[in-house]
Chain A
Amino acid sequence: MTESTTPATGTFAFDPDDPGYTRNPYPTYNWLRSQPPYLWAKHDAWIFSRYDDVVTIMRDYRRFTPNWADWEHAARFTSDGQVHDYDRLMASGLFALPHDGHVRLRKLVSPAFTPRAIERMRDKVQAIVDDALDHIEVQDGRFDVAGLAEHIPLRAISAVLGIPRTREPEFRRFGVSVIDASDRRLTPAARLAVLEPFTPGLELLRAVIDERVRQPADDLLSMLIAAEEAGDRLNHDELLSLVMALIAAGSETTVHLICFAVYTLLRHPAELARLRADPSLVRGAIEEVLRFDSFGKNGVPRFARDDVEIGGVRVRKGQMIYPLLPAALRDPDAFPRADVFDIGRDQTANVTFGTGPHHCVGAALARLEGEIAITTLFARFPSLRLVGDPVFAPHSFLRKMESLPVAV
């Protein structure tokens, strides 16, 4: 069973803030892909929805950058000329650094995140998932998957970094604030509200780093601190920015992968049966969840570094661009039977983690968490079923399930 993908007749509009879009964006994506690139008047942004255009934009770092400072309207949303710590650190971050700096920073962290390195985390991630499952609140044979998913990713990225478990709620809120504040379309007041947990979270991170300087351990944080101390490999703002990005992207993303994986599999009982019969299909199942019903609403915006022609339209220097990754992943030009959820399909073209220099550095960890969470959950609860629709929290660029009720 799949969601309706047929655009209703009549005038279509692109409005990601519409709750209907969050629940089911696929009619909108199909409509967008059927026409030339769409100018979203509200933000003067170009929306690209076809696979080829989206892939081109993500790969071409010379013509397109994810750095919000390069947005033609970036100055509009600074508050009284004061630079928040967040903005200062983001300017030293992976999305903002020029290519050479970006390469330099990626080289420091990517060895800890290769598929081979992450596979060594398997037992640790299994223990995290088992512990989370041991602590779910089952009432009248029911529990909320969102509550279960909430705890797993932060613990996994903390294990990679070497961050202690003791201050989880503060780091969790910190991670959410880092992700939410990345959207510079917020009003200054809304932005300050979103950034409220950021300052205490940053203080906590500084304290953890100070502790690790005094007592180095065999973890990624210690390695990054040593690299900073060596003098020429990364500076202190780059260190903080990198760790903050890993905490944020490591926690406030995979939570939604887990929720969508459970939701999508439970809505497609034939595919779930296929997975139960052959657990080796779990890798393909996670990829297909991320292709078929991705939790990203719009994709990560880019900005044209110069006037450029793409997809038959002219984009101005500094103009905002949304390469709509979730729409591209349902493009029938790239995926046969694109609207069918098929855990056995060829995933070679699936660019759900991006493609090019900014390909998600944590992809292998996210995949491992997804695989272990799904395998363990469905093994522990052989009769798991949905008992209600997911409830989506309002959010400008994520489809966040705040509740997914299931029965065991």
Chain B
Amino acid sequence: MRVVVDRDLCEANQQCMRLAPEVFHVDEADRLHILVARVDPEHRDRVRRAVRACPKQALSLVEEAEEERS
């Protein structure tokens, strides 16, 4: 599983960072950094929650199996 951010929509609300700080970091310049290329299985539930919680719906998840098929 990896995380994709739509930078046209992200407004640095920091909800993702609050819910899954291992994966999301909003820096001092209000830029979101996705900290991992692949989400650790033990973080998946928190990451799903963070994606759902984004006020702008700027985040999405890409499952590995989808990628292998494309």
Contact = CB atoms under 8 A, between A and B. Distances in A.
Interface of A: 59, 103, 106-107, 110-111, 113-117, 348, 351, 353-357, 359, 361, 363-364
A348 B19 contact: yes
Kindly list the 4 A-B residue pairs having the minimum CB-CB distance in the complex, ordered from nearest: A114-B12, A359-B55, A110-B11, A103-B8
Given A348-B49, A356-B57, A117 B9 contact: no
Interface residues of B, number: 16
A354 B55 CA distance: 7
B56 interface: yes
Given A117-B30, A359-B11, A359-B55, 4 more contacts: A116-B30, A348-B15, A356-B56, A361-B11
Given A348-B19, A348-B49, A114 B11 contact: yes
B24 to A, nearest CB: 14
Contacts of A359: 11, 55-56
A2 to B, nearest CB: 27
B56 A357 contact: yes
Given A348-B19, A348-B49, A115 B12 contact: yes
A348 to B, nearest CB: 5
Given A103-B8, A348-B19, A348-B49, A114 B13 contact: yes
11 contacts: A110-B11, A114-B11, A114-B30, A115-B12, A116-B12, A116-B30, A348-B19, A353-B55, A356-B57, A359-B55, A364-B13
Nearest to B18: A348
A107 B12 CA distance: 11
B48 to A, nearest CB: 12
Interface in B4-52: 8-9, 11-15, 19, 26, 28, 30, 49
A284 to B, nearest CB: 13
B57 A115 contact: no
B17 to A, nearest CB: 10
B12 to A, nearest CB: 4
B12 A357 contact: no
Nearest to B26: A116
Contacts of B30: 111, 114, 116-117
B46 to A, nearest CB: 11
Contacts of A103: 8-9
A348 B19 CA distance: 9
